[in-house]
Amino acid sequence: MTNNLKFFIDGAWVDPIAPKTLAVINPATEEAFTSISIGAAGDVDRAVAAAKAAFETFSLTTKDERLALLKRILEAYNERYEDIAQAVSREMGAPVAFARSSQVAAGRGHLEATIKAFEDFELEKPRGKAMIVREPVGVCALITPWNWPLNQIVCKVAPAIAAGCTMVLKPSEIAPISGVIFSEVMEAAGTPKGVYNMVQGTGPDVGQIMAGHKDVDMVSFTGSTRAGIIVAKTAADTVKRVAQELGGKSPNIILPDADLEAAVRGGVASCFENTGQSCDAPTRMLVPADRHDEALGYAKAAAESHVTGDPNSETTVLGPVVSKQQYEKIQRLIETGIAEGATLVTGGPGKPEGLERGYYVRPTVFGNVKNDMTIAREEIFGPVLSILPYADEDEAVAIANDTVYGLGAYVQSGNIEHARVIARRIRAGSVYLNYPDWDPMGPFGGYKQSGNGREYADWAIDDFLEIKGIVGWQP
């Protein structure tokens, strides 16, 4: 018996008010492997009411009590690690080895980082004759995407718990089963009833209702910029706090003093990670114009070395993209790149040879891309890399910043001081120098149309807290 057709509300697994189901498609087979229930306004009302009631007591728990809960959640999460990995692989087509090493590991990493950050976190301190108190913002609506499901669920839930908030989670209806298992983790950890609630559903039918709900105090949303704008407008009527992590079109500046071959190969690997379905993927590679053709050769070899295929194979590097809709969007953008005059270096339209079933995309590299081309402006969200030549560093920085987005950026250099100088000139929330290891203790979030607020560790805890000044604390 699974809980796939139920919601988790007020500490119990419950049926939706009005039965309505949605098939969950395995993108590797194009066939449904299970179904979920789809909620509506009444289900959201139940979940928010439970969270509101629980807030009265959970908001008053001590830091030590909330730390103990986070540690129990981490223990329960680790016990379900393989179950979550298998679910992620089936629901979004992630190669199972990658699901274990990155997708599920990201959730564990956020739990560990939140615990570490919270242990040293000050919730109150004197200032002058006042006491500055940091209190939970209230009932939070958490709306998460399909591309890094555990990463985004945990980097919202964990800091909300630390802050003393209560919450309602809506996982993506495209990749929802990992959210079911995570809810079972929260139950197994002994989360007090009503503190954590989960309702499945679509953005319009559930997410938007949550964003506009009068008893929700904050919305934390990750998804497309288009959807984020709708969420922000909906939330504005009740003047609730909105934190958003939205789209990106991240530049990757390879400076003249970098090892070009290593930098290009690393850039291809980073762009293609998670089958290119990452909002901060380095999809615009900027290379010195006089070495552009050389860079194309390295990129072609690197792209063609990626094994695309069955997610169940331990040797697969690229699985399918998540859905038919996503596949068709990527195909349109590849065709547009060709039509607008970019050089197709490798890949292109259609599916890889021998993979006619499943939403598989050919690993694709374009060269001679201009920054006004569609493939350099729009978020493709697939294994598609655009390589742009630049004349000098000033032009490279100008191209990097010439985007409505500002989520991530990358700089490659043989001289770390040189890389640091360039990093300071880029308008992005995160700049990665020489492909560093992932660090869940650093802040994550965007400038411009990539969002507002910051996630990860203490940066995320801050977002879930209000600041109260009790003036006259010291007479």
Please report the DSSP string for 349-375 in residue order.
SSPPTT--SS-----EEEES--TTSHH
Work out the percent of the chain whose per-residue pLDDT is above 70. Answer: 100
pTM over 0.95: yes
Please report which confidence band the pLDDT of residue 70 belongs to, taking 50, 70 and 90 as the band edges. very high
pLDDT(1) > 80: no
CA-to-CA distance for 162 and 64, rounded, in angstroms?
10
CA-to-CA distance for 351 and 334, rounded, in angstroms?
12
- Which pLDDT belongs to residue 287? 99
Catalytic site includes residue 245: yes
pLDDT in tens, 125-172: 999 999 999 999 999 999 999 999 999 999 999 999 999 999 999 999
pLDDT in tens, 292-329: 999 999 999 999 999 999 999 888 889 999 999 999 99
Numbered ranges of CATH 3.40.309.10 in the chain: 251-440
pLDDT in tens, 407-461: 999 999 999 999 999 999 999 999 999 999 999 999 999 999 999 999 999 999 9
pLDDT(356) > 80: yes
Q: May I ask the CATH class of domain 251-440?
A: alpha beta
3-state helix, strand, coil in the chain (%, to 5): 40, 20, 35
What average pLDDT does the segment 332-359 reach? 97
Contacts of 288 (CB under 8 A, 6+ apart): 254, 255, 256, 389, 390
CA-to-CA distance for 423 and 222, rounded, in angstroms?
25
- Which pLDDT belongs to residue 315? 85
What average pLDDT does the segment 260-288 reach? 98
CA-to-CA distance for 197 and 222, rounded, in angstroms?
18
Question: In angstroms, what CA-CA distances link 322 with 243, 312, 458?
Answer: 25, 15, 31
Please report which confidence band the pLDDT of residue 383 belongs to, taking 50, 70 and 90 as the band edges. very high
Beta bridge partners, 21, equal 37
Give the active site residue among 173, 187, 245, 455. Answer: 245
Whether the Cβ atoms of residue 117 and residue 458 lie closer than 8 Å to each other: yes
- Which pLDDT belongs to residue 316? 85
pLDDT(376) > 80: yes
pLDDT(192) > 80: yes
- Which pLDDT belongs to residue 380? 98
pLDDT in tens, 210-228: 999 999 999 999 999 999 9
Please report which confidence band the pLDDT of residue 74 belongs to, taking 50, 70 and 90 as the band edges. very high
- Which pLDDT belongs to residue 126? 96
Whether the Cβ atoms of residue 145 and residue 223 lie closer than 8 Å to each other: yes
pLDDT(54) > 90: yes
Numbered ranges of CATH 3.40.605.10 in the chain: 7-246+450-470
In 3-state terms, what secondary structure has residue 144? Answer: coil
- Which pLDDT belongs to residue 475? 86
Catalytic site includes residue 155: no
Give the active site residue among 140, 184, 279, 455. Answer: 279
pLDDT in tens, 228-253: 999 999 999 999 999 999 999 999 99
Average pLDDT, the chain: 97
- Which pLDDT belongs to residue 209? 98
Whether the Cβ atoms of residue 382 and residue 359 lie closer than 8 Å to each other: no
Beta bridge partners, 14, equal 7
pLDDT(65) > 90: yes
Domain 7-246+450-470 of CATH type 3.40.605.10: yes
CB atoms within 10 A of CB 295: 24
